[in-house]
Chains A and B, each alone.
Chain A
């Protein structure tokens, strides 16, 4: 349908264990399919470090074991919009979020997909691009496959960074 970019200009990633602890609001970039028949494909993830001192961050693009409940609307400067300004409005749009009434937990499953994006947020940059057909897919409202996020994993520091996720709602 339309390629969109979910952008969070600055946030502080916090090291959080898989599943046992919910991700704290404002420490992650989440993307939810929102509706049962919705599907999105992530084609690019970018993180740029903004820390003022050396800070190793174990960032993970991972699925959610427990999906977020009642997503908070994005507030400026965060944004989620179409790359093409002439895109028609989608009634039930997949959307990015950085907060929820009940935040999500990251999947702990060893057979679940994830991408390790470890880097130093003191001047470091990390970027992942998917090949056409090999995008990261988010589908429906079923746990695990319906929501994903970029967040800090146990062992990393509390680094300041900004980033974007480019995705397409199918």
Chain B
């Protein structure tokens, strides 16, 4: 049976031949300081948010459920989950955004280009 863990990436920070990083810096980077000091090896699974593509280093000791988007059938980051819960939220995944950019480019109207600004629809006020 397939599981969501097949979408997990891998982060390795190897300080086995290095003085490593201080505890406060490790905490600020979202890592366990026990595995970030001198002579230590840090390995963790990562998850890419399907909405914003943020890469989340998974904390194995987390008890709360991971945010999940049923439309993408994938995990999303906590920030995107907060947005998803807001009223009037319009679902846009990174894949959809990517496809929209390429589609508009092939049609000759790249998003964010000056061409798009020049060809704005004209509104006549009687």
Contact = CB atoms under 8 A, between A and B. Distances in A.
A110 B102 contact: no
Contacts of B30: 116
Interface residues of B, number: 45
Interface in A8-58: 35-37, 39, 49, 54, 56, 58
Nearest to A146: B101
Contacts of B110: 36, 140-142
Interface residues of A, number: 44
B9 A139 contact: no
Nearest to A126: B13
Contacts of A119: 13, 15, 18, 21
A69 interface: no
Nearest to B55: A115
B21 A128 contact: no
A126 B12 contact: yes
Interface in B74-95: 79-80, 83, 94
Given A54-B19, A128-B46, A133-B7, A145 B101 contact: yes
Interface string A57-79: 01001000000000000000000
A113 B21 contact: no
B74 to A, nearest CB: 9
Nearest to B54: A113
B14 A124 contact: yes
B80 to A, nearest CB: 7
Nearest to A119: B13
Contact of A118 (B9, B10, B18, B26): B26
A72 B77 CA distance: 36
24 contacts: A39-B98, A111-B52, A113-B49, A114-B54, A116-B30, A118-B13, A118-B21, A119-B18, A120-B15, A120-B20, A123-B15, A124-B13, A126-B14, A128-B9, A128-B10, A130-B9, A131-B10, A131-B48, A135-B48, A139-B101, A139-B102, A140-B98, A141-B113, A143-B112
Interface of B: 6-15, 17-22, 25-26, 28-31, 46-49, 52-55, 57, 79-80, 83, 94, 97-98, 101-102, 105-106, 110-113
